[in-house]
A and B are shown apart, each in its own frame.
Chain A
């Protein structure tokens, strides 16, 4: 009986706290993988330099190993990043699915990469990856923007609830500002639909972030209005 009670009532509490903990865990894993990638990348650069200088078989073998290590840790870094990013957008399952697809592709490439044994093979793989990375970047920045806009929309809801609870007429006082806010959010989301090049990422994110900042300024303005109204309305 007590066990059932515990499971029934305590589970939601754990569920609420699980996302931030999971995010911290995934984030730490990503940062660790990123450090490994950076180390491998430095080794790769020195081996590449050595190979271009000496052109020996040993230098070539070392370069192939360093390249594979770097590309493998690159895959792991991206996967870790996508996993951490995926749990920040629980409100958008479609986008989560897209991120999951990219993670799956990266996982599938691990065995392929391990089987590559020549510089030419690695070159072909890298050329394919350059094209694929455009799609990955589009998904990354679309997700980041989605996380941002979703967060702002939640804040708008909190402001609306606060106004409602304190007896302030939202539609009369803040409807125009809400419309402006929604326009900025829509414009920011439109930026993600910008055409992409085959092998180069056309970065829409900075412009989209500017629009979300404008939306955020509107929320700050509503917050300040509400604050001053409530301070003035309280009895002395």
Chain B
């Protein structure tokens, strides 16, 4: 038995003989998006593009801020507190035979004569 070709006359697109006319409207954006496939490569590219864009914006903002703050005086460098020289090296590391000599020298360097000069009022009797 021969197959009878079915033709729906209500839907012309289903008609294999149908030839579209030039006056038909172009595809919309949503329609084209549907056509682009979101492959992993494209997702990666999009992510990288987003990162580059955000970094560029950040760099732009920072550069502008720096240009505006050029007259700010620099912060003083913190000064390391000066330590007593004698504390830099532990005395116990000195060879034993020289320790007494160093102790004596340390005492000599710290010595102050404990004899306060008298404060005399030279206007007494005047």
By a beta-carbon cutoff of 8 Å, the part of chain A in contact with chain B is 27, 30, 34, 37, 41, 44, 67, 70-71, 74, 77-78, 81, 84-85, 88, 119, 122-123, 125-127, 129-130, 133, 140-141, 144, 147-148, 151, 154-155, 158-159, 161-162, 165-166, 216, 219-221, 223-224, 227-228, 230-231, 234
> Could you name 23 residue pairs across A and B whose Cβ atoms are closer than 8 Å?
A27-B114, A30-B115, A44-B124, A67-B125, A70-B125, A78-B118, A81-B115, A119-B125, A126-B124, A129-B122, A130-B122, A133-B120, A148-B113, A155-B109, A158-B101, A158-B104, A162-B101, A162-B105, A165-B101, A216-B109, A223-B105, A230-B94, A230-B95
Residue B67, interface by CB 8 Å: no
By a beta-carbon cutoff of 8 Å, the part of chain B in contact with chain A is 85-86, 88-89, 91, 93-95, 98, 101-102, 104-106, 108-109, 111, 113-115, 117-118, 120-126
A126 to B122, CA, bound (A): 7
Interface centre among B93, B120, B124, B125 (most CB of A within 10 A): B125
Inter-subunit contact B108/A154 (CB<8 Å):
yes
Nearest Cβ on chain B to A26's Cβ, whole angstroms:
9
Nearest Cβ on chain B to A69's Cβ, whole angstroms:
10
Nearest Cβ on chain B to A170's Cβ, whole angstroms:
14
Whether A224 touches B89, Cβ cut-off 8 Å, given contacts A158-B108, A231-B94, is yes
Nearest to A154 among chain B residues (CB) is B108
Whether A84 touches B115, Cβ cut-off 8 Å, given contacts A125-B125, A223-B102, is yes
Interface centre among B86, B102, B126 (most CB of A within 10 A): B126
Nearest Cβ on chain B to A44's Cβ, whole angstroms:
6
A35 to B52, CA, bound (A): 84
Inter-subunit contact A224/B115 (CB<8 Å):
no
Majority SS at the chain B contact face: loop
Set of chain B residues within 8 Å of A34, measured between Cβ atoms: 118
Inter-subunit contact B93/A231 (CB<8 Å):
yes
Set of chain B residues within 8 Å of A165, measured between Cβ atoms: 98, 101
Set of chain B residues within 8 Å of A81, measured between Cβ atoms: 115, 117-118
Interface centre among A78, A162, A165, A227 (most CB of B within 10 A): A227
Closest 10 CB pairs of A and B: A126-B125, A122-B125, A155-B108, A231-B93, A162-B101, A234-B95, A130-B122, A67-B125, A126-B126, A224-B85
Nearest Cβ on chain B to A65's Cβ, whole angstroms:
12
Inter-subunit contact A227/B124 (CB<8 Å):
no
